[in-house]
Amino acid sequence: MNKATSKDGTAIAFDQVGEGPAVIVVGGGPTTRAVNTAVAELLAPSFSVFNYDRRGHGDSGDTPPYTADREYEDLEAIIAVAGGSAHVYGTSGGGMIALEAAARGLAITRLVVWEPPYIVDDTRPPVPADYHQQLVDLLAAGRRGDMLELFFTKAANLPAEFVSPMRQSPFWPAMEELAPTLVYDAMLTGDFSLPTQRIAAVAIPTLVLDGGTTLWLSNAARAVTGTLPDARHRTLPGQPHNVDPAAIAPALAEFFNHGAA
C-alpha cells in the first residue's frame, strides 16, 4: 500500500501494480479498493494500475469538512503520483466522479466509465427529494444499516425484498463502516440527473460501457455517450452492474491501447 497527499493534506491510500502507461481506477459506492483488485491485476501486464481508496473509504483519510471538490483533488493527487497524466476507469458512481474530473480539466488522457448511475428517464423511480437529508438523519441516529438499505433501495433501485436479506450477509458489517460516505455520495450526485452542460466539455476519447441487463443504467450509458463530443458506447452482453472483471478488463485494455473498442 502507498499513500498520496491530497491538497488538504488528506492521505489517499492506493495500490500500484504492473508496468506501462498509467491507469487509475475510481471506485463507487460503499466499497474499498479491494473490489477492484481483480481488474487491476488483469490490466497489470500492460499498464501501471493505480487502484485507490476514495477519502473516507478503506485506508484513506477523511479530513472535514467534506465538499465535492475534495474528490477531484484526491484524484488529481493520484494523477500526480502516476506521472502527471493517466488513463482513468470509473465504475458506477466512480464514473460520475471521473466524468466531472475530466470536465474540470484534470490530466486524463483516455476515459472509460461503467454504468454511471444517472437517471435520464422514467424507467425507474426518481431518488427522493430528501434523500440526502434522510441519510444525514440516519447517520446522526447511528442507524448505519438503515442508511445502506436506503441507498440500495432508493438510489441503486434494488427491490426491498432483495436488500433485506443482505443485512444478514457476512459483508454487511464492513459496508456499515463505510455508510457515512453515502452522505458524501449524495452531495456529489444531487438528484442523479445528467449534468449535460458540464460533461459536454469532456473532449477526451471516452468509452461508455454497460451490461444491457438494467434498462435505466443502459439508457444512462447511451445518454452520456450522446452528450460527449468524442465518445463511443459498447455493451458487454449479460453483465450485471457488479461487472465481472474478466469481462471488462479486455475492453479497458483495448481502449487504453488506443483500439476502437
Instruction: Let me know whether 100 and 155 are in one domain.
Output: no
Question: Is 126 inside a domain boundary?
Answer: no
Kindly report the average pLDDT of the chain as a whole number: 97
Instruction: Let me know whether 113 and 140 are in one domain.
Output: no
To which residue does cell 448511475 refer?
Answer: 117
> What's the pLDDT tens digit per position in 193-232?
999 999 999 999 999 999 999 999 999 999 999 999 999 9
What total of structural domains would you count in the chain? 2
Q: Integer distance in angstroms from the first to the last C-alpha of the chain? A: 31
Instruction: Let me know whether 66 and 98 are in one domain.
Output: yes
Instruction: Let me know whether 103 and 14 are in one domain.
Output: yes
Residue 258 scores a pLDDT above 90:
no
C-alpha to C-alpha distance for 68 and 81, rounded to whole angstroms: 21
> What's the pLDDT tens digit per position in 99-129?
999 999 999 999 999 999 999 999 999 999 9
Question: Is 161 inside a domain boundary?
Answer: yes
Question: Is 246 inside a domain boundary?
Answer: yes
Percentage of the residues of the chain whose pLDDT score is greater than 70: 99
Task: List, as one string, the DSSP characters of 26-87.
Answer: E--SS--GGGGHHHHHHHTTTSEEEEEPPTTSTT---PSSP-HHHHHHHHHHHHHHTTS-EE
Residue 260 scores a pLDDT above 60:
no
Instruction: Let me know whether 181 and 233 are in one domain.
Output: no
Instruction: Let me know whether 109 and 140 are in one domain.
Output: no
Instruction: Let me know whether 166 and 183 are in one domain.
Output: yes
Residue 75 structural domain: 2-121+192-256
Question: Is 104 inside a domain boundary?
Answer: yes
> What's the pLDDT tens digit per position in 9-51?
999 999 999 999 999 999 999 999 999 999 999 999 999 999 9
Query: What is the pLDDT, as a whole number, of residue 259?
Result: 58
Task: List, as one string, the DSSP characters of 154-213.
Answer: IIS---HHHHGGGGGSTTHHHHHHHTTHHHHHHHHHTT----HHHHTT--S-EEEEEEES
Instruction: Let me know whether 29 and 135 are in one domain.
Output: no
Over residues 132-161, the mean pLDDT reads 97
Instruction: Let me know whether 114 and 221 are in one domain.
Output: yes
Look up the CATH number of the domain holding residue 105. 3.40.50.1820
Question: Is 261 inside a domain boundary?
Answer: no
Instruction: Let me know whether 156 and 252 are in one domain.
Output: no
Question: Is 64 inside a domain boundary?
Answer: yes
> What's the pLDDT tens digit per position in 44-64?
999 999 999 999 999 999 999
Instruction: Let me know whether 28 and 111 are in one domain.
Output: yes
3-state secondary structure of 15: strand
Instruction: Let me know whether 116 and 135 are in one domain.
Output: no
Residue 261 scores a pLDDT above 90:
no
Question: Is 232 inside a domain boundary?
Answer: yes
Query: What is the pLDDT, as a whole number, of residue 130?
Result: 98
